[in-house]
Amino acid sequence: MRDIERFRAKAIELGAEAAAPIRTRLIVVRDRVRLKCRYGCGAYGKRLTCPPYNPTPEETRRLLSEYEIALLVKFGPCVECGHKDAVNIHKAIFELER
């Protein structure tokens, strides 16, 4: 648990509003999320971190099953979405994953 606290503190340092550990077995991955993106987002298919390029729900469920604890990170406005003076979420998460 000491490692997760270190990651939580790093996420805050990188600009997250909040970060909290969560047991992966509590995370529900819904199939419909990709459809919400496909039919509800004007940026669909324009970023490699979004559908259809990101992992499918099944791939995500499989990946989560390999871990016991995840870090749930909340960011405010993002540079990627066009907000001025906001956090570059992709850069922050990349740094956190390193």
Q: How many angstroms separate the CA atoms of 46 and 52, rounded?
A: 9
The pair of three-digit structure tokens given for residue 54, joined into one six-digit string: 């990101």
Q: What is the pLDDT of residue 47?
A: 81
Q: What is the pLDDT of residue 37?
A: 87
Q: How many angstroms separate the CA atoms of 21 and 19, rounded?
A: 7
User: What is the pLDDT tens value at each position of the chain, 98 positions in all?
Assistant: 678 999 999 999 999 999 999 999 999 999 998 898 889 888 889 888 788 999 999 999 999 999 999 999 999 887 777 777 788 888 899 999 88
3-state secondary structure of 78: strand
Q: Any idea what DSSP says for residue 57?
A: H
Does residue 86 contact residue 77 with C-beta atoms inside 8 Å?
yes
pTM of the complete model: 0.76
